[in-house]
Structure 1
Amino acid sequence: MANLARIEDRPTPPQVYSWRVYVNALIATFAAIMIGYDSAFIGTSISLTSFKTEFDLLEKSTSELDLISANIVSMYQAGCFFGSIFGYPIGYFYGRKFGLMIAGAVFCVGAALQVSASSHTGLGIMYGGRVIVGLGIGVASNLAPIYVAEIAPPAIRGRLVGMYEMCWQIGGVIGFWINYGVTEHIASSHKQWIIAFAVQLIPGGLLLIGTPLMTESPRFLVTRDRNGQALRNLSYLRNLPHDAPYIVQEFSEIEAAVAHERSLAGAGFFGPVKTVMADTKLIQRLLLGISLFAWQNATGINAINYYSPTVFKSIGITGSSTSLLTTGVFGLIKLVCAMVWLLYLVDQLGRRNLLMIGSAGGAVCMYYIGAYIAVADPASHSTKTVDAGGKSAVAFFYLWTIFYSPSWNGTPWVVGAEIFPQHVRTFTQACMAAGNWLFAFLIARFTPQMFTSMGYGVYLFFASLMVVSVFFVFFFVPETKQVPLERMDELFAPDVKAWNAHAIVTGRMKDHYQDAEQGKVVRDRSPELKSEEEQVERVTYSE
């Protein structure tokens, strides 16, 4: 049973857990709803006959249709890639609040351009809208979880950051089901396909409208030497007077932490960049963190997210309504598994074990699906009903989802947040977000051509990559659970290996605490170290 009780780092007045911090976090997490929705709806929308009719795609050859579909989907990831990079300077110079406002405005402009596309305008304006929407999402995917982590009291930080992950998955479920709804209840027409595109404006608009009501992060204000406003904002968020002992202590720790970070990375925009680039160990960790997103995409998740109708058609699911229903169930399974991961698995099984189990189980499922398609060739024997073999393939697809969602879905972001010190984390997070969107772009850009040219080989390809990822995780990814941030360097020390680093470091920790209890060691953490350890942010992005 997951423990949902608050574990406080100090005696905390109940006023700290008021509606104010929850409302601010909820407004920011609307960014995750628009991210999840946009990632889910597009593949099913462009598969609708009404969309193809609107833009004269029914007469296109398979190769031409593949190229157009790939362009519509991948333009979004290209925008996300550059947006996630822009999110770093925007967040540094303009803050989290105004940065999210910019993201919401840009997103709404892009969504409006897509809605204005028609047979009269052609697809050019659609491509432009997809890129602009991606820019907004890239910025939001960088700033929203940072903002939530910075305003949250330590005892509920995981819960509030978890709201971001849940909103992402909720947006995905809505995106998968919206097209099923319009297919069932609206006749094939311009109205049918445009509804799903127009729904993008709801979460984007709510973010844009809500951001002026947000309270800027006190921590950001201290980094800009606006300490007076920072104290007022912290007092408001905690629902306590500015001279309350709890506020005085927390604010002093924020000031000490920022001063400590400046001493390590140097002041200014390029301080964290220079720190990472000058440290070989940090560069290696950055490459490790980015590589986890390459392996995440190697599971095939974004091929499924963006082209789910194509995936189910290859298994033998015919009819747009049936295909969209099957896709909607996929979204629901992802949501449920993400909740189980958040509330229980990630802290119980650990990051490393989850990744290896997810890859091993997912590989078996993908191999089965590929073998079924190779033997049965359902695309060449299309029928209105799915036979027993087809049903078993769908079952293994859902089983693959059960293996993927509580493992590779969010765990790479947890590891990426934990292996970097606080004073460089905003920069490394931007790099990992950019890497995530870059790999998603590559998968989205070439998936239609892969299915056309490789057939069942696509499943064998992703399955084989998952097998390789098991060995990658075993040899290069140390377990990070229960290891304080201040001892993270020990997991990457030359005298330990990834497969035994956790046991060695936790063993040292145990000996240290035993010695302290016996009076051999007096351990008095400085405010800087304490603050840095407390601010380990479990920032969870997924597909």
Structure 2
Amino acid sequence: MARFTMSSKRAYNWYISLVAASCMVLYGYDASVFNALQGSDNWVAYFNDPDDYLIGTINTAYVVGAIVAGFFFGGPLADRCGRRTGMAVGAGFVIVATFMQCFAPRGNMGCFMAGRVLIGIGQGLALTAGSIYIGELAPQEIRGMIMSFWQMFYSVGSFIAYWINFGTSKHVEKLGEWDWKLVVIFQLLVPILIVVQAPFLPETPRWYVQHGKWEKARNSLTRVRDTEQEVEDEVLMIREAIEFEKEAISSNYSALWKDKSIRHRLILALILNAGQQITGQGSLNSYSTIIYKKIFTRASQTALINALNATFGIIFTANATWTVDRFGRKFLLIVGGIGMGICMIIVASVETQTPDLPNGAKTESVGISIVFLLFLFIFFYKPSWGATIWIWTSEVFSMNVRAQAVGMASQTQNVANLIVQQFFPTFLDNCGFYAFYMFAGINFLLAAFVWWFVPETKQVPLEEMDAKFGGVNHVEGGGDLMGVEDAHHADMGQALGSIKKEPHAEQREVAQ
């Protein structure tokens, strides 16, 4: 079958993947909504004019919730109860937290912050399960293309939040306090859709095989693969890999530090995910309103720029859909890092080397130049360190540790973001746009790190990823344990019966 032929089952594969990618809308919306609220005078007055330190603490509250959920609960929940359950439970937390934030009593910042913590917990659970869900069900030849929509949906979340905020900013007198409450309450839309749809999605075959449910694994794959042979081959490969992991490595999370190959991947994933947030993008997401206030004087200008930024973010992320499987993950990360570094140098130079107007703002031409350069930064970021980091992280780990490793690695983004968000407002106040020179240097270092240390993983089957990192091929190793002649191909006459055998039955037969 041609690579881009769109059969009914391939279309259904796209549908369920996009439902899972909607978890990222939660992240994008929330990362943007609090940034937007800081531009609302009504929100500031409602909570008694919070200072910079309290603003940083509110951001920290969300991040702490996400880190705790991602590191300690996201992986175990997805492994024990399934990827669909992880997404639904996470979305449920976001629904409850949205009501807490929107209807917090006047001046009660504690209730608002508690909502921020719950949203962090919800996202920590949903993001862990959602990214794994896509990676485990997507066909390997288009896995990168489908997964690129994961980052694109972050931009969709930002798009919705910022355009709603822009609309409310034009009608502040009529709306009153609802100018910010409307921005918050619209966060309910996507988590409700996830909760409603999750029970009807197929669970991943890898989760079923991990729990000994071979027939359900086959049924799940039958819904998304075009031929019966594809289904049997993939079930066999999954089973071989899991059998090998149980016998030769470890069936629990101890393999994260016991297995040299997995430990190597975890270290790389932690560095890459932390690197994503110290490129400068994390600070732009959280504090673009503050940054643009140093250039423009009207709140509606800043709201419009944020909305346009989110709109272009969707367009720029779309570049990953056709580049990530064509040029590879490594190429995009290197080009993206270099491009972002150059943009940051020019932004800092333009802002610091041009005169200020009497009101402290910049001339219109300088302001437009800076906005253009920051949009160019997004052009390099979105398909590379935005989308590709998630793709790489979701595909490199073996089944026995995938959920926990992805949860830990993805929440390293929040650990790095927590550190940067806490000091960046003060850094920006004291140093102005000279702070962007720091981001330029970081981006060049990240590009060099990828060049020297990160292997290419495009179109490598998930069960054979270990061989790319110096480990044993889990499919071939499992095939040897099970006595299978061709580890990559299931004979149709034998497969229907062999998959139903209890675990380790083949090993006992070989031993006898």
Which TM-score bucket, shorter chain as reference?
Answer: 0.7 to 0.9
User: 2:264 aligns to what SS in structure 1?
Assistant: helix
Partner in structure 1 of residue 186 of structure 2? 199
Does 1:476 find its partner at 2:469? no
Q: Spell out the pairing of 1:122-521 with structure 2 (5 A cutoff).
A: 122-154=108-140, 157-187=143-173, 189-235=176-222, 247-267=231-251, 270=252, 273-314=253-294, 316-344=295-323, 346-376=324-354, 378=356, 381-382=359-360, 386-481=363-458
Does 1:39 find its partner at 2:31? yes
Aligned partner (choices 46, 52, 63) of residue 54 of structure 1: 46
Per-residue deviation, 1:114: 0.6
Per-residue deviation, 1:467: 2.9
Per-residue deviation, 1:39: 1.4
CA offsets per residue over residues 162-193 of structure 1, 9 Å max, x none?
44333222112112222111111342621111
Q: Is the Cα–Cα contact under 8 Å of residues 257 and 527 in structure 1 kept in the other structure?
A: no
Per-residue deviation, 1:245: 5.4
TM-score in terms of structure 2 length: 0.83
Partner in structure 2 of residue 6 of structure 1? 3
Say if 1:207 and 1:482 are closer, same or farther in 2 by CA, change over 3 A: closer
Q: Spell out the pairing of 1:88-99 with structure 2 (5 A cutoff).
A: 88-99=75-86
Q: Is the Cα–Cα contact under 8 Å of residues 16 and 153 in structure 1 kept in the other structure?
A: no
For residues 147 and 70 of structure 1, what CA distance do their matches in structure 2 show?
A: 33
Say if 1:239 and 1:297 are closer, same or farther in 2 by CA, change over 3 A: closer
User: What residue identity is the alignment partner of 1:6?
Assistant: R
Per-residue deviation, 1:230: 3.7
Does 1:103 find its partner at 2:90? yes
CA offsets per residue over residues 486-535 of structure 1, 9 Å max, x none?
886676669xxxxxxxxxxxxxxxxxxxxxxxxxxxxx851399xxxxxx
Per-residue deviation, 1:225: 2.0
CA offsets per residue over residues 92-127 of structure 1, 9 Å max, x none?
11111222221121111111111111425x111010
CA offsets per residue over residues 323-374 of structure 1, 9 Å max, x none?
1111112112221111012222x23443333323322222222222222332
Per-residue deviation, 1:76: 1.6
- Size of the aligned set, in residue pairs, is 476
User: What residue identity is the alignment partner of 1:178?
Assistant: I
Q: Is the Cα–Cα contact under 8 Å of residues 152 and 387 in structure 2 kept in the other structure?
A: no
Q: Which moved more, 1:369-378 or 1:97-106?
A: 369-378
User: What residue identity is the alignment partner of 1:214?
Assistant: L
Q: Is the Cα–Cα contact under 8 Å of residues 87 and 143 in structure 1 kept in the other structure?
A: yes
Instruction: Report % sequence identity.
Output: 26
Say if 1:469 and 1:248 are closer, same or farther in 2 by CA, change over 3 A: closer
Say if 1:223 and 1:340 are closer, same or farther in 2 by CA, change over 3 A: same
For residues 449 and 208 of structure 1, what CA distance do their matches in structure 2 show?
A: 40
Partner in structure 2 of residue 498 of structure 1? none
For residues 442 and 304 of structure 1, what CA distance do their matches in structure 2 show?
A: 14
Partner in structure 2 of residue 526 of structure 1? 487
Aligned partner (choices 14, 17, 20) of residue 28 of structure 1: 20
Say if 1:380 and 1:407 are closer, same or farther in 2 by CA, change over 3 A: farther
Q: Structure 1: which 5+ runs fail to align?
A: 495-523, 530-543
Q: Structure 2: which 5+ runs fail to align?
A: 472-484, 491-512
For residues 296 and 321 of structure 2, what CA distance do their matches in structure 1 show?
A: 32
For residues 25 and 468 of structure 1, what CA distance do their matches in structure 2 show?
A: 33
Q: Is the Cα–Cα contact under 8 Å of residues 74 and 403 in structure 2 kept in the other structure?
A: no
Per-residue deviation, 1:250: 4.3
For residues 397 and 348 of structure 2, what CA distance do their matches in structure 1 show?
A: 39
For residues 225 and 4 of structure 2, what CA distance do their matches in structure 1 show?
A: 17
User: 1:527 aligns to what SS in structure 2?
Assistant: coil
Partner in structure 2 of residue 534 of structure 1? none
Partner in structure 2 of residue 75 of structure 1? 61
For residues 93 and 201 of structure 1, what CA distance do their matches in structure 2 show?
A: 27
User: What residue identity is the alignment partner of 1:208?
Assistant: V
Say if 1:528 and 1:439 are closer, same or farther in 2 by CA, change over 3 A: farther
